[in-house]
């Protein structure tokens, strides 16, 4: 009887997940403000006037905030949730770090560098290829390449934000952020990956910022398993990650329907993708075209990709940029 009860409970939970998942994220995105004039766009994006001089290797935190290689870190907690495992650790200076291991570590850092370079807010994050753990047994493979995200003093996560409901829907920076994520093949757009930070004691810039933070499901290709047609549930794989061959294989622009752009996108977020116009793609690609070859290489070098992988990713991205700029027509 107990076993039957457990099975029924499991079945009910699965049915609820399918129901809520199939309803989630299927409506068109909408703004949460009455007037766009009320929106502080700086909370999402700040025009990168200094883009040409930005250091894509060290990123938002700069070299001064990077964790040291071959250092020891005290393990405070083990994270077993989600696709990638990880740890919460503290270094010898008392700074706390979120550590992610596995396939998502590299794309998260590379994509974070690109979004930060384009003017979107990002936390300080780095790839560390050699570290030591104290206070817990950590597998040897986890002590090699890992993503370290700094817990910066004065910056506090106060909530999540949704791609489908937020103050920025319909604004150019929001549309550009959608295009940038399409170009980088980041397909995991669940709300829990997006964070709102309060920045205490900041003298310059917004006091609250909206961040697309967990970017590991990127730099592969999107896919659409058949069962997702009926149950588009969050958390189910919609593509590959850290997959340069898949990234090269997938196209970018499929065609036009009036001013709407059709993409080679396979995923569950078509209601967002369908809002993208020619102007949105051109705006984003003009911004990306300002990134130099050296900056592109630095973004992928910072993530620990080999020179050959760096070249392949950059070539594909520059091809997408050319395709996007071509939508503007003759100069």
Q: Is the pTM of this model over 0.85?
A: yes
In a domain, 33, yes or no: yes
> Mean pLDDT lowest for which of 40-44, 83-87, 144-148, 169-173?
83-87
As a whole number of angstroms, the distance between CA 318 and CA 247 comes to: 13
Q: Residue 202: in which H helix or E strand, if any?
A: none
- Give the confidence band of 14 by pLDDT, cuts at 50, 70, 90: very low
pLDDT at 201: 74
pLDDT at 326: 97
Give buried/exposed letters for 36-53 (b at 16+ CB in 10 A, else e). eeebebbbbbeebeebee
Instruction: Yes or no: say if 197 and 158 are a contact pair by the CB < 8 Å rule.
Output: yes
In a domain, 318, yes or no: yes
pLDDT, tens digit, for every residue of 208-251?
Answer: 999 999 999 999 999 876 655 555 454 456 899 999 999 999 99
Name the residue with higher pLDDT: 226 or 315. 315
* Mean pLDDT, residues 76-82: 89
In a domain, 236, yes or no: yes
Q: How far is CA 101 from CA 55, 106, 233, in A?
A: 24, 9, 24
DSSP annotation of 277 reads: B
Q: Which of 129, 30, 147, 34 is nearest to 88 (CA)?
A: 147
Q: What is the rounded end-to-end Cα distance, in angstroms, of the chain? A: 74
DSSP annotation of 120 reads: B
Q: Beta partners for 74?
A: 90, 134
3-state secondary structure of 248: helix
User: What's phi and psi for 84, nearest 5 deg?
Assistant: -105, 135
pLDDT at 229: 54
Sequence-distant (≥ 6) Cβ neighbours of residue 48 within 8 angstroms: 54, 117, 118, 119, 287, 290
Q: What is the sign of the dihedral through the CA atoms of 272, 275, 279 and 282?
A: positive
Domain region containing 311: 27-326
In a domain, 317, yes or no: yes
pLDDT at 153: 86
In a domain, 181, yes or no: yes
pLDDT, tens digit, for every residue of 262-275?
Answer: 999 988 899 999 99
Q: Beta partners for 155?
A: 199
Q: What is the sign of the dihedral through the CA atoms of 81, 84, 85 and 86?
A: negative
As a whole number of angstroms, the distance between CA 194 and CA 191 comes to: 6
In a domain, 64, yes or no: yes
Cα 4 → chain centroid: 42
Instruction: Yes or no: say if 216 and 146 are a contact pair by the CB < 8 Å rule.
Output: no
3-state secondary structure of 166: strand
Residues in the chain: 331
How many domains in the chain? Answer: 1
Q: Look at residue 331 and tell me whether its pLDDT is greater than 50.
A: yes
pLDDT more than 70, % of the chain: 88
Q: Look at residue 23 and tell me whether its pLDDT is greater than 50.
A: no
As a whole number of angstroms, the distance between CA 125 and CA 147 comes to: 7
In a domain, 19, yes or no: no
User: Do the bridges between strand 132-134 and strand 72-79 make them parallel or antiparallel, or are there none, so unpaired?
Assistant: parallel
In a domain, 2, yes or no: no
Six-digit token string for 57: 């290797």
Instruction: Yes or no: say if 191 and 211 are a contact pair by the CB < 8 Å rule.
Output: no
Q: Which of 105, 209, 97 is nearest to 147 (CA)?
A: 105
3-state secondary structure of 313: helix
Q: Look at residue 130 and tell me whether its pLDDT is greater than 90.
A: yes
Residue in the structure block whose two tokens are 């700040």: 46
Instruction: Yes or no: say if 115 and 176 are a contact pair by the CB < 8 Å rule.
Output: no
């Amino acid at each position: 009887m107990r076993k039957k009860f457990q099975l029924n409970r499991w079945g009910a939970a699965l049915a609820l997940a399918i129901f809520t998942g199939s309803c989630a994220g299927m409506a068109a995105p909408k703004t949460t403000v009455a007037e766009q004039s009320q929106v502080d766009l700086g909370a999402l994006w700040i025009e990168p006037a200094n883009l040409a001089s930005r250091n894509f290797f060290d990123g938002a935190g700069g070299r001064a905030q990077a964790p040291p290689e071959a250092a020891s870190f005290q393990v405070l907690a083990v994270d077993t949730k989600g696709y990638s495992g990880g740890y919460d650790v503290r270094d010898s200076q008392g700074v706390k770090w979120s550590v992610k291991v596995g396939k998502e570590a590299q794309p998260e850092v590379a994509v974070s560098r690109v979004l930060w370079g384009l003017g979107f807010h990002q936390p300080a994050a780095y790839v560390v290829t050699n570290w030591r753990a104290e206070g817990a047994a950590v597998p040897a493979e986890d002590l090699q390449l890992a993503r370290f995200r700094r817990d910066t003093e004065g910056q506090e996560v106060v909530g999540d934000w949704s791609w489908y409901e937020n103050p920025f829907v319909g604004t150019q920076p929001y549309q550009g952020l959608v295009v940038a994520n399409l170009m980088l093949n980041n397909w995991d757009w669940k709300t829990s990956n997006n964070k709102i930070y309060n920045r205490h004691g900041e003298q310059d810039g917004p006091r609250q910022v909206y961040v697309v933070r967990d970017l590991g499901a990127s730099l592969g290709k999107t896919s659409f398993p058949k069962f997702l047609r009926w149950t588009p549930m969050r958390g189910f794989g919609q593509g590959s990650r850290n997959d340069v061959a898949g990234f090269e294989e997938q196209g970018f622009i499929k065609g036009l329907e009036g001013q709407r752009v059709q993409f080679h996108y396979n995923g569950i977020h078509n209601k967002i993708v369908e809002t993208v116009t020619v102007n949105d793609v051109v705006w984003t690609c003009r911004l990306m075209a300002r990134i130099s070859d050296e900056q592109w290489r630095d973004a992928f070098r910072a993530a620990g990709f080999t020179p050959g992988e760096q070249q392949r990713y950059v070539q594909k991205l520059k091809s997408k940029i050319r395709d996007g700029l071509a939508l503007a027509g003759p100069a």
